[in-house]
Amino acid sequence: MKQLLGIKVEKLAMGGFGIAFHDKKAIFIPYSAPGDMVDVIVTHDRKDHSFARVNRFISRGDSFVQPDCSAFGGENPCGGCDWLMLSYDEQVKQKYELVKSLFLPFIDSEKVYPTISSPQPVHYRNKVFMPVGEGKGKRSLQYGIFARWSHQIVPHTACKNHPPVFDALAKRIIELCIAAKVSPYNELQHSGNLRHLGFRISADGSEILVVLVTLSGKLPFSGLLVKHISQEFPSVKGIIQNINREKGNVILGADTRILYGRDHIFDRLGNTSFRISYRSFWQINIGTMELIMNSIRKHIKPKATVLDAFCGIGAIGLSLANEVKSLILLEELPEAISDAKENAALNGIENVSFVCGKFEELLPELLQKQHPDVIIVDPPRSGLAKDSLETIMFAGIKQVIYLSCSPMTLARDLKVLCSNQSYELDSLQSFDMFPNTWHIECLAILHRR
């Protein structure tokens, strides 16, 4: 394989790569940072750019800190972190630089604000699913996180991103599984049984769900597991067996068995309470989500009629319900709409209506009949379809609030909304929802010209 010796990493790119240049070609290098001098091995060579992996660090840049994780870096690094070798202040600075490089070509620099740090830079994840596989010893099991771009499990004992109690639970469950001779899932042969361990926790740590994803409905040790886990971890409010008999990358299957307690926890976003099932979408970093909600509140007028599209279980919309005239929640998944209705009842919210169906199909009729003043969208990573953007523009909604986990698709969609002087951007605020990774959450506020 081709080697490049003594090249310098100049900056960071979306995707978590460091970028060096050689013979006028950009070289994308994971787990590297500005100022690093490296020898690399080219793994994929293209006409105008290449991808490479570090063979040797000659020296490290000024922002380097020693990663406090045995699973980070090395020959087979864990895929959970991109930037654990950077100080946290540097991570936030680099995210702002990435946002600026993407948006400043078409947005006034005064409207692109510095990235807001996470209140909790470590142990912030309130949900995780970890794959289970065969360990090195006889009848041994291991759990961890997949290596980047692979399904090879990188075992670990302590993750910097999720709460330590998740690791303690996982270790104990694996011990019980080994004692009960539970077989790990083999992805290639589609055999074995235990596929994933999953955990979800409330912000105050008082409620935890445990999820065991299995290939088969049979789980003969479940009584023993329930006894030990419920006694040793009093915060566990539910232990669920999810059965996934299908091949493929989708973690959860269609069948659910409650082995202990309940299949949901209760959590809060601001002053609003939420019932959250083990399947529900709930922002992974609730501290940062609180900051996002505070920013949204500053821009919504009290007498507004608000359409919360892609509402899920109602996290954003219901948190605003007591501050607006009326609220419409739109969601494709019937289960999520059912949860949203329960959450509205839980909080005594009555100025809300619910619509179940696909955003793209129902949006034109909703805008025509309901005439909302504000539309809030928090779409999947793929963003909004062009037809939906044009529908919003044609309807003349006064305000668009766009929350995005993909700066690239947000940039694409903002160019459409701001075309022909339809909308003007008031502000673009980035938030660090995912410390130690390159991922960035962005909030765009637009008003109709």
For residue 5, the surrounding DSSP H or E stretch is strand 3-12
Query: SS3 of 368, please?
Result: helix
**Residue corresponding to tokens 């075992």:** 155
Please write down the long-range contacts of 146-153, taking CB distance under 8 Å and 24 or more positions apart.
Answer: 146/79, 147/76, 147/77, 147/78, 147/79, 148/30, 148/77, 148/78, 148/79, 149/79, 150/79, 151/187, 152/76
Contacts for 435 with CB less than 8 Å, ≥ 6 apart: 88, 91, 118, 120, 121, 122, 124, 161, 285
∠ Cα 172 242 251 (to 5°): 90
Whether the Cβ atoms of residue 18 and residue 32 lie closer than 8 Å to each other: yes
List residues with catalytic annotation.
Answer: 405
What CA–CA distance (Å, rounded) separates 84 from 30? 12
Chain centre to alpha carbon of residue 133 = 24
Query: SS3 of 445, please?
Result: strand
For residue 116, the surrounding DSSP H or E stretch is strand 112-116
What CA–CA distance (Å, rounded) separates 145 from 384? 30
Task: Note the pTM of the prediction, 2 decimals.
Answer: 0.94
DSSP 322: G
Whether the Cβ atoms of residue 260 and residue 276 lie closer than 8 Å to each other: no
Question: Quick one: tokens of 28?
Answer: 């994308």
What CA–CA distance (Å, rounded) separates 306 from 328? 6
CATH numbers and ranges of domains, the chain: 3-64 (2.40.50.140), 96-120+272-448 (3.40.50.150), 127-268 (2.40.50.1070)
pLDDT in tens, the chain (449 residues): 799 999 999 999 999 999 999 988 999 999 999 999 999 999 999 988 999 999 999 999 999 999 989 888 767 888 999 999 999 999 999 999 999 999 999 999 999 999 999 999 999 999 999 999 988 766 689 999 998 888 899 998 899 999 999 999 999 999 999 999 999 999 999 999 999 999 999 999 999 999 999 999 999 889 999 999 999 999 999 999 999 999 988 999 999 999 999 999 999 999 999 999 999 999 999 999 999 999 999 999 888 999 999 999 999 999 999 999 999 999 999 999 999 999 999 999 999 999 999 999 999 999 989 999 999 999 999 999 999 999 999 998 999 999 999 999 999 999 999 988 889 999 999 999 999 999 999 999 999 98
What CA–CA distance (Å, rounded) separates 245 from 217? 9
Whether the Cβ atoms of residue 413 and residue 388 lie closer than 8 Å to each other: no
Helix axes 386-395, 407-417, angle to 10 degrees: 40
Query: Would you mind telling me the total number of residues written for the chain in this entry?
Result: 449
Whether the Cβ atoms of residue 235 and residue 206 lie closer than 8 Å to each other: yes
